Amino acid sequence: MIIRYFILALVCLTLAEDEFSPGETATSPNEMKAALPVRYLLFEVNYGEGFNLRRDVYIRMANMVKFLNEEGGQQWVLVLPPWGNIYHWQSPIKQTKIPWSRFFDLDSFRRHIPVMELADWMAVVGTPAVIDEIYYLQTYSEGWVDGQWTERRDIRPCNDPSYYKKVDGEVEGHFWGYTKTIKGKSFECLSVQNEIKTFTDFLRDEAKGQSILIDRGETLTHGRYSEWSKEWWLGRRSIRFSKKLMDIGDEFRKKHLESTDEADLTLMDSDWTKQQKALGSALGGPYLAIHLRRKDFLRGSRKEVPSLSFAAEQIEKLLVEKSLSKVFIATDAPESEFQVLTQSLGEYQVYRYVPTSEQLNEIGDGGVAIVDQWIAAHARYFAGTSVSTFSFRIHEERSLLGFPPDSTYNRLCGEKEDPADCAKEQPGRWFPKYD
């Protein structure tokens, strides 16, 4: 992480005769142009998907670029689409065209693969910036063949197109709000059932343009490179939060939760490629952390989501079991519900991260979510919400910090679900293998 950041932090490529490897960082724009031809992979995700699912899709795209570059013959760079208009970001502030560097340490990304912000790609390819080929991924309208998922892909009529060809042949789309400065040359809908490793064949051999946009990137699966694989964990380990956000979380931990990296045994090397924490090596701060998802999960009438009273009952039980007096709660619940929860835990100290108005304007809702995750990741014990990607990201962060599975892979139960079903998911049902 402690690496000089170039104004146009373009890509982790050296000159054409050199090969990128984990641990290297970006070159200058002039060196980048000297290394051409380079191919750019842009990606987008279904509009309704949230912040944490999009981070998972990034790993899929990143590993595709890694596989392509390992095959040789071509140099690929992943272009990071700006953030904005996420459903869960509901604060009354402007939250569009946000660069990834607001939330993450891109130098850390570049130790895994070459990446660049969309604005930097636009600066390199010129104005208007042209996307040569756009592929909108979709499922097969007829479903699986004989009830079986098999790998295949075909150019098909669009089920629900998000791009349109104008009379002059130019392709029109949202393009992250840059409709006047980004243009598309060609557009096809691609029905696909592919793992990311297989899809590299299409990008290498069938897509011909220099800049390729893959929309609905979540349609591709990790497949054999899922959470159980070394490749997946390499991509995940490279995702480090921005120093600013970690500093906010660390300050909160120290001020309210008596938690520091030294005392918690959670010190990390600034370079993820040089350190890998052994599971069970982290102690964690003297507090319980809970992720309690409300809002849309309540509307979905999910039986796994507890009522406030049942959540409080489980939290109190955990505090007693773990001999803790403090609990940090990350939740999308309104303040009125949080106060009900706090009152139900009257004899315990209950904390929630609430940014100042200045902080909120600076880091946005995405930054608030990361601070929440960072604080929760350092707790002595964590329990999340069933099938929530927010909780999943905390699971991953805790594993990377060295927490044992039985203090990490836990969740609150819903009073309407079978206790046996809830018990199957904890403690430590999933044991991450990233070594």
Q: Report pLDDT digits (tens) over 311-343.
A: 999 999 999 999 999 999 999 999 999 999 999
Q: In the block, which residue shows the tokens 């406030």?
A: 308
Q: Which amino acid belongs to residue 318?
A: L
Q: What confidence tens digit (pLDDT) does each residue in 95-126 have?
A: 999 999 999 999 999 999 999 999 999 999 99
How buried is residue 97: exposed, middle or buried, by Cβ count under 10 Å (0-12/13-18/19+)?
Answer: middle
Query: Given 3.40.50.11350, 2.30.110.10, 1.10.1380.10, 3.40.50.2000, which CATH number is that of 243-423?
Result: 3.40.50.11350
pLDDT at 276 > cutoff 50: yes
Listed by start position, the domains of the chain span 29-237, 243-423
Q: State the pLDDT at residue 428.
A: 47
Residue 251 is a catalytic residue = no
Q: Hey, which residues does 120 pair with through a beta bridge?
A: none
Q: State the pLDDT at residue 28.
A: 41
Lowest mean pLDDT among 128-137, 145-154, 417-426: 417-426
| Helix, strand, coil shares, percent, the chain, to 5 | 35, 20, 45
Q: State the pLDDT at residue 363.
A: 97
**Is the sign of the CA dihedral 168, 173, 177, 183 positive or negative?**
negative
Structure tokens at 35: 């290394």
From the list 49, 231, 396, 397, the catalytic residue is 49
Phi/psi for 396 (5° steps) reads -65, -45
Percent of the chain at pLDDT exceeding 90: 74
pLDDT at 380 > cutoff 90: yes
Asked if 326 and 286 touch (Cβ cutoff 8 Å), the reply is yes
If you average pLDDT over residues 133-143, what whole number do you get?
A: 95
pLDDT at 429 > cutoff 70: no
Domains 29-237 and 243-423 share a fold: yes
Distance between CA atoms of 306 and 317, rounded to whole angstroms? Answer: 14
Q: State the pLDDT at residue 430.
A: 45
Asked if 198 and 225 touch (Cβ cutoff 8 Å), the reply is no
Structure tokens at 274: 């040089």
Q: Which amino acid belongs to residue 394?
A: I
- In this prediction, residue 298 has a pLDDT band, given cuts at 50, 70 and 90, of low
Distance between CA atoms of 270 and 149, rounded to whole angstroms? Answer: 42
Q: In the block, which residue shows the tokens 């689409």?
A: 81
Average pLDDT value over all residues in the chain: 87
Lowest mean pLDDT among 42-51, 84-93, 279-288, 331-340: 84-93
Distance between CA atoms of 237 and 434, rounded to whole angstroms? Answer: 9
Full 3-state SS string of 353-422: CCCCHHHHHHHHHHHHHHHHHHHHHCEEEEEECCCCHHHHHHHHHHHHHCCCHHHCCCECCCCCCCHHHH
Lowest mean pLDDT among 34-38, 59-63, 300-304: 34-38
DSSP-assigned states of every residue in 230-295: HHHHHHHHT--B-HHHHHHHHHHHHHHH---HHHHT----SSGGG--PPTT----EEEEEEEE--H
CATH architecture, domain 29-237: 3-Layer(aba) Sandwich (3.40)
Q: What confidence tens digit (pLDDT) does each residue in 190-225 have?
A: 999 999 999 999 999 999 999 999 999 999 999 999
